[in-house]
Amino acid sequence: MSRRLSVGWATSSSLAADRATFRGLETSVAMRIANVGRWLNRNLPIRSEMYRPERRYDVVVFVKAMDDRARRERDRVQAAGAKAVFDANVNYYEIWGDYELPNTQPTEEQRAAAVEMTERADAVVADSTYILDVVKTLNDRATWIPDNVDLRLFRRPRRHRPGTPVRLVWSGRSTKAQPLTLLPQLGEALRGFELVVVSDREPPELDELRAALPTSFERFDLRRYARTLRTSDVIISPKRLVNGYELGHTEWKITLGMAAGLPALASPQRSYVEALDGGGGIVADSREEWERALEALRDAERRADLGSRARATVQERYSTPAVARRYGEFLLSL
């Protein structure tokens, strides 16, 4: 029997910790790798764990880790004969456009670190096809692997019924809620809708939103959010696509709702367009397109049809087993 491939996962915070586990990862990193790592252990000839410097590995995956310490560790594991993979899940490579949201514009130091990490890695995993196109100019051993959705949180999809209000739901960091101010511009088109904002804290835009339509706030917790999605009607994600940071995002903001059987209403960010090519929602850009989309989504039968397509898309392309298998097969190919 051949031995299992040994894989260690490293993040900036885990490299600084005495010991790291999948359970201890913070949400934005855990959603990327924790369920993937566990699935690999159960289903492929891979032994996967959070990286420990004292152990030897066949492959070490550096997840958004590109600071001085990460680069020194990369050199060390490569010198010991292991492959170093860079999981590039933020577009630090490009600095252009209008950065309206705080702390989203990469610094020159971050850009240089991302480029160096990408060029020196044995392989690169990009979490969006937009970033993949950028990465391939720096390292031709690269692939796209999307974020995964744990369907165990969504065993019972939403049953859409006629009636009002129609519940819109949005989730994201409070510092990134500014694009929601598109909604108050829609005026009468919002009649019969309500909004749930799920975030780390109340964003300053809440008062403006509450003046336009009934709006409630919930603090983010993944399991609680899953319950909220099961009682909502439409997952929304308006965006201002005015810089490389926004264009490089993944589809995860809408695929969680899609997994719950919700149709998505989203701006034409590339990853959203790709996720909705199976008919699981509506892509809208202009104010008029958003108004028409909201009018269409008043119809419960339309929401049910789109929501069914949305869930099928997640099951096929974005569920943990589908994504983890792709990740594992790529690591085995190294």
Same CATH topology for 5-148+319-333 and 151-317: the answer is: yes
What is the structure's pLDDT at 155?
Answer: 86
Pairing status of strand 59-63 against strand 83-88: parallel
Q: Is 332 helix (H, G, I), strand (E, B) or coil?
A: helix
From residue 166, alpha-carbon distances to 2, 149, 262, 298 in Å are 55, 25, 12, 7
Residues of the chain with pLDDT under 70: 1-2
Report how far residue 237's alpha carbon sits from residue 131's, in angstroms, rounded to the nearest whole number. 20
What is the structure's pLDDT at 2?
Answer: 66
Tokens of 257: 């709702």
**Do the beta carbons of residue 26 and residue 50 sit within 8 Å?**
no
Q: Which CATH fold topology does 5-148+319-333 show?
A: Rossmann fold (3.40.50)
DSSP 148-208: -B-GGGGSS-----S-S-EEEEEE--GGG-GGGGGGGGGGGGGTTEEEEEEESS--TTHHH
User: In the chain, what is the straight-line distance between the N-terminal and C-terminal CA atoms, in Å?
Assistant: 19
Tokens of 136: 């391939």
Residue-wise burial string across 260-292, b where 16 or more C-beta atoms lie within 10 A, e elsewhere: bbbbbbbbebbbbebbbebebbbbbeeeeebbe
Q: Is 214 helix (H, G, I), strand (E, B) or coil?
A: coil
- Which of 169, 146, 188, 10 is closest to 82 using CA atoms? 10
What is the structure's pLDDT at 262?
Answer: 98
Q: Where are the domains of the chain?
A: 5-148+319-333, 151-317
pLDDT in tens, 274-307: 999 999 999 999 999 999 999 999 999 999 999 9
Class of domain 151-317: alpha beta
Residue with tokens 């996720």, as numbered in its chain? 275
Helix (H) or strand (E) holding 306: helix 300-313
pLDDT in tens, 160-211: 999 889 999 999 999 999 999 999 999 999 999 999 999 999 999 999 999 9
